[in-house]
Amino acid sequence: MDTVFGVKYDGGVVIAADQGNARSILMYQRNLDKVVPLSSHSAVGVSGPNADLVNFSEYIQKNIALYELSNDGMKLSTHAQANFMRGELAAALRRGPYQVNVLLGGYDESTESSSLYFLDYLASLQKVNYGCQGYASSFCLSIMDRDWKEGLTEDEAVAIVEHCMQELHTRFLIAQPNFIIKVIDKDGVKTSKFGADPADT
């Protein structure tokens, strides 16, 4: 029942996710951070069971850090990170698949451009301008299709995401009261807004 949104704008990417950690009819927590920084200028929004969500995102995060340490500080581009994730998901399909669907966003300092990638649990990778994971796609892809345009600003991208959240609050059967929004741009990954502080335990 997880929800992840992503919107690319001119100079960055906005990624948002609900903060619920639930299974069956139980809600375990309402302040989970499902948007995980992978490097200084990239982050991934992950949906799926909590065990796979944490295991996969930390595995990718640590391997990207290891690559940087092993190669004299050379950073993987967002494109390279997306293909590394796709390779790991594809390899896992034959032994123990990760039940995760992700949106990867990043800003490449070398090209001064941003990019957003859609990746599902079957290791299907696609570069997109906007995307949704989960049931939210039934409600929000039409909003993104109508409102997204070339040359979007950060404020306009955040407004699209907030419009999608409002639509879910109005029409979606399952309550998702808290969302976290993160922005990735030339200054790195920063938290824009959250419904519940992930630091609260």
Average model confidence (pLDDT) across the chain: 93
The reported pLDDT for the residue numbered 201 is 61
- The tens digit of pLDDT for each residue in 69-87 reads 999 889 999 999 999 999 9
Question: Cα–Cα distance between 98 and 121 in angstroms, integer?
Answer: 6
Q: Which of 167, 53, 200 is CA-nearest to residue 159?
A: 167
Residue (of 187, 144, 191, 152) closest to 34 by Cα position: 191
Give CA–CA dist 119/7, Å, rounded: 14
pTM of the model: 0.93
pLDDT in tens, 180-189: 999 999 999 9
pLDDT tens digits, one per residue of 165-179? 999 999 988 888 899
